[in-house]
């Protein structure tokens, strides 16, 4: 689950939707220096189910929106940092990627979008300031970089999201997964991508802070509901998606994290990006540990830091995230285990409050993703 603090500090940051969250009686927590809603009146499970069935609204304005401006050299310089084929990335298309160190440890996982005149990188809230400084140094201050605090980011997720959003912003249904475009709303340019982090079809809308509240109210009036961080966490875990600070950190590599698919095969083959030597070595020789899905046999929930043992009582790993999955009606978890115990259906044991409970290694995701791969023309 998210690492949040229930007591909110006086100097904490607030998003442009803070007043609206209070109007809808949100329970707040401190997360990454922001006052954020963990849940509303109906609770996490109902919010989770509503998102899967209809359409949930997530305030993710605490995340970083970094714009990097430059000419042709920018693509080459960014390819020295990210394991992506940016030369062939189409305008308004997005890729999931990582900011790594020389040992291929992950500073942050992110979404990078190629725009006509720049790149837009969406950064995790807890990492954005550090990411900005790292990128500024790696790019030798050659380019204009703007970590834009004047823009909000609103995610709308669930099977009814396309229908609802299209009533407010025409032609957004033409977008396909990980594809975006500029649209006009209230005489301002907003950027919409068909993406999200719940496993459902959905969109993320970047717009100015002064439009965020009224835009969100229009979504609510069309049938969507505000959803807190609690349900966002259960949704992403069911979908087998990583959370920075849990599945991902500076000590984990993309190979260990079972995210090889997120790196361009051409780039991995040719190398030349930060951490590429370690990545190449791990792809050839394997890793000691790897991220896996875990399904407890009973109803017990294995939280973060739960120790994992094999059937000979050998300590083989640790849980990184665990919760009750409302859509699968049972407990689900992810964690890292020694590679030789990572095959599906391997019997393991989870140590919870001094007692060991049976579980099995399983494939991910726990819940089938419902992304829209092709545009609805």
Give the lowest-confidence range in 11-15, 317-321, 325-329. 11-15
pLDDT at 375 (0 to 100): 56
Please state the φ and ψ torsions of residue 172, each to the nearest 5 degrees: -70, -20
| 245-267 pLDDT, tens digit each | 999 999 999 999 999 999 999 99
Q: DSSP letter string over 19-39?
A: HHHHHTTPEEEEETTEEEEEE
Percent of the chain clearing pLDDT 90 (strictly above): 95
Is the CB of residue 55 less than 8 Å from the CB of residue 370? no
Cα 82 to its chain centre, rounded Å, is: 17
Decide the pairing of beta strands 225-226 and 56-59. Answer: parallel
CATH superfamily of 288-362: Aminomethyltransferase beta-barrel domains (2.40.30.110)
Copy the structure tokens of residue 66.
């970094």
CATH superfamily of the domain spanning 65-141: Aminomethyltransferase beta-barrel domains (3.30.70.1400)
Please give the helix or strand (H or E) that residue 236 lies within, else none. Answer: helix 229-238
- Residue 46 in this model has a pLDDT that exceeds 50: yes
DSSP string, 25-90: TPEEEEETTEEEEEE-TT-HHHHHHHHHHS-EEEE-TTSEEEEEE-SHHHHHHHHTTSSS-GGGPP
The pLDDT of residue 335: 98
Give span(s): CATH 3.30.70.1400, the chain.
65-141
pLDDT, tens digit (0-9, with 9 covering 90-100), for 184-204: 999 999 999 999 999 999 999
Once rounded to an integer, what is the mean pLDDT over residues 222-232? 98
pLDDT of 377 over the 60 cut: no
pLDDT at 374 over 80: no
CATH 3.30.1360.120 domain range(s) in the chain: 13-62+149-238
Average pLDDT, the chain: 96
- Residue spans of beta strands (DSSP E) within 267-328: 289-296, 307-309, 315-325
Q: How confident is the model at residue 71 (pLDDT cuts 50, 70, 90)?
A: confident
pLDDT of residue 9: 53
Tell me which residue of 194, 158, 183, 171 sits closest to 48, measured CA to CA: 158
Q: 3-state SS of 125-182?
A: CCCHHHHHHHHHHHCCCCCEEEECCCEEEEEEECCCHHHHHHHHCCCHHHCCECEEEE
Assigned CATH topology for domain 13-62+149-238 = Gyrase A; domain 2 (3.30.1360)
pLDDT at 373: 81
Q: What is the DSSP letter of 306?
A: -
CB proximity list for 325: less than 8 A, separation 6 or greater: 234, 237, 238, 331, 332, 366, 367
Every domain of the chain with CATH number 2.40.30.110 lies at 288-362
Structure tokens at 85: 């084929």
Average pLDDT over residues 152-178: 98
Q: What pLDDT is stored for residue 10 in this prediction? A: 52
**Mean pLDDT of all residues in 343-360:** 98
Contact between 250 and 303 under an 8 Å Cβ cutoff? The reply is no
Residue 11 pLDDT level (bands cut at 50, 70, 90): confident
């Amino acid at each position: 689950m998210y690492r949040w603090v229930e007591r909110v500090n006086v100097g904490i940051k607030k998003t442009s939707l803070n007043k609206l969250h209070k109007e809808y009686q949100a329970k707040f927590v401190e997360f990454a220096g922001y006052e954020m809603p963990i849940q509303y009146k109906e609770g996490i499970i109902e919010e989770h189910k509503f998102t899967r069935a209809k359409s949930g609204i997530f305030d993710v304005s605490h995340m970083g929106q970094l714009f990097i401006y430059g000419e042709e050299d920018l693509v080459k310089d960014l390819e020295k940092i990210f394991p992506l084929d940016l030369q062939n990335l189409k305008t308004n298309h997005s890729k999931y990627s990582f900011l790594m160190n020389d040992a291929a440890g992950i500073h942050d996982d992110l979404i990078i979008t190629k725009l006509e005149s720049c790149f837009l990188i969406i950064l995790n809230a807890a990492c954005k300031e550090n990411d900005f400084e790292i990128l500024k140094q790696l790019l030798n201050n050659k380019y204009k970089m703007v970590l834009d605090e004047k823009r909000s980011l609103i995610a709308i997720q669930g099977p009814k999201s396309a229908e609802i959003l299209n009533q407010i912003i025409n032609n957004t249904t033409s977008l396909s997964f990980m594809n975006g475009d500029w649209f006009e709303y209230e005489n301002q340019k907003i950027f919409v991508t068909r993406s999200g982090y719940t496993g459902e079809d959905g969109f993320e809308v970047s717009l100015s802070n002064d439009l965020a509240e009224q835009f969100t109210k229009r979504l609510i009036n069309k049938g969507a509901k505000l959803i807190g961080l609690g349900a966002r966490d259960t949704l992403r875990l069911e979908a087998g998606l990583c959370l920075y600070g849990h599945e991902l950190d500076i000590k984990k590599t993309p190979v260990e994290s079972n995210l090889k698919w997120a790196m361009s095969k051409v780039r991995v083959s040719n190398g030349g990006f930060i951490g590429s030597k370690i990545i190449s070595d791990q792809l050839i020789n394997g890793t000691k540990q790897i991220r896996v899905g875990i399904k407890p046999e009973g109803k017990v929930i294995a939280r973060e830091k739960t120790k994992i043992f094999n059937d000979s009582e050998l300590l083989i790993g640790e849980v990184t995230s665990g919760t009750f999955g409302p859509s699968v009606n049972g407990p689900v978890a992810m964690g890292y285990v020694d590679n030789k115990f990572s095959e599906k259906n391997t019997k393991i044991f989870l140590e919870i409050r001094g007692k060991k409970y049976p579980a099995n290694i399983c494939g991910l995701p726990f819940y089938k993703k419902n992304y829209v791969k092709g545009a609805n023309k």
